[in-house]
Amino acid sequence: MTSIRPYLTVFRMRFVLMLQYRAAAIAGFGTQCWWGFIKVMVFAAFFRSSSAHQPMNFAEAVTYVWLGQAFLALLPWLSDPDIAQMVASGNVAYERLRPLDTYFFWYARAMAWMIARALPRALMMFAFACVVVPLFGMGDWRLRLPATPEAAVLFVGAIAVTVMLSSAMVMFLNLGCVITLSERGVNSLVVPFVLILSGNIVPLPFFPNWMQPLLFAQPFAGLVDIPYRIYFGGLTGWIAFAGIAQMLAWTLVLGFAGRRALSAVMNHLQVQGG
């Protein structure tokens, strides 16, 4: 890697391009508000049904739900559609001709794609769940602010690592797409595991206690569970730092393994189309 400039350029181009899709962002936002309400109402009903001690209280569970809706685009949902199209058309062969590191080049694109989709949605969702929801008299159902200023700072750091981690996972989906020449099968097999193991379906602390150490250590926890628990003060002090360190470690491991695998695959690249 001689210079970082080409990678920054592709990042900026993709970012600006993706910000153009305003209609998609607004439609997605509407969907996520609706979805958030369903989840919040289910939690409200559960919490009213039992007085047993829970791993998080109702306000924290609601915050977890809204953060999940705000940062939904940070999950590795699918391989980069542009890469999938390159593979389908055979244009992926051109990537071999660039005097660049393909892994970092694609990684920068994936990251820009992710941030540009997440940013407007997250801003709208914060405005909605923090401000609009209480205005409609649903104060119990609002998104709370971070527990403490320290939690806020740690959360920003954690979410930044989430973006890096999730981009490394998208790179694995890209890799699967290049190997199988189709993005559909790989995506549909990986996503269910992402959803359940990240905490997107149910916050991880609600799973049985004996699973907790395993759930905390696995790579998908860094996509949702660790940053959100840092946000509402569920993880503090050394445990919060351990969580962020875990995320960084997985990012490095996945990035290193992904880069090696991609260069192996690209050396024996099968190209279709003409």
User: CB neighbours (10 Å) of residue 252?
Assistant: 13
Which residue number, 20 or 263, has a Cβ lying nearer to other proteins? 20
- Can you tell me the distance from the alpha carbon of 223 to that of 20, in angstroms, rounded to the nearest whole number? 25
Which residue number, 148 or 180, has a Cβ lying nearer to other proteins? 180
Task: Kindly tell me which residue out of 1, 96, 132, 193 binds other proteins, with binding defined by CB under 8 A.
Answer: 193
- Can you tell me the distance from the alpha carbon of 261 to that of 244, in angstroms, rounded to the nearest whole number? 25
User: Please, what's the largest Cα pairwise distance for the chain?
Assistant: 65
Q: Which of residues 124-183 bind other proteins (CB under 8 A)?
A: 180, 182
Distances (CA, A) of 115 to 102, 123, 124, 228, 267: 20, 12, 14, 18, 30
Amino acid at the residue 204: L
- Can you tell me the distance from the alpha carbon of 234 to that of 240, in angstroms, rounded to the nearest whole number? 9
Which residue number, 107 or 172, has a Cβ lying nearer to other proteins? 172
Shortest Å, Cβ 55 to other proteins: 8
Task: Kindly tell me which residue out of 185, 217, 263, 273 binds other proteins, with binding defined by CB under 8 A.
Answer: 185
Contacts of 145 (CB under 8 A, 6+ apart): 130, 152
Shortest Å, Cβ 11 to other proteins: 26
Which residue number, 28 or 120, has a Cβ lying nearer to other proteins? 28
Shortest Å, Cβ 195 to other proteins: 6
* Burial class (CB within 10 angstroms; exposed 0-12, middle 13-18, buried 19+) of 231: buried
Q: Which of residues 5-64 bind other proteins (CB under 8 A)?
A: 23-24, 27-28, 30-31, 34-35, 37-38, 41-42, 45-50, 52, 54-55
Shortest Å, Cβ 92 to other proteins: 19
- Can you tell me the distance from the alpha carbon of 26 to that of 37, in angstroms, rounded to the nearest whole number? 17
Shortest Å, Cβ 99 to other proteins: 34
- Can you tell me the distance from the alpha carbon of 258 to that of 166, in angstroms, rounded to the nearest whole number? 12
Which residue number, 77 or 155, has a Cβ lying nearer to other proteins? 77
User: By rule CB under 8 A, what string of x and - marks binding of each residue 205-224 to other proteins?
Assistant: -xxx----------------
- Can you tell me the distance from the alpha carbon of 65 to that of 125, in angstroms, rounded to the nearest whole number? 11
Q: Which of residues 86-125 bind other proteins (CB under 8 A)?
A: none
Contacts of 134 (CB under 8 A, 6+ apart): 142
Which residue number, 2 or 50, has a Cβ lying nearer to other proteins? 50
Which residue number, 96 or 184, has a Cβ lying nearer to other proteins? 184
Instruction: List residues binding other proteins (CB under 8 A).
Output: 23-24, 27-28, 30-31, 34-35, 37-38, 41-42, 45-50, 52, 54-55, 180, 182, 184-189, 191-193, 195-196, 201-202, 206-208
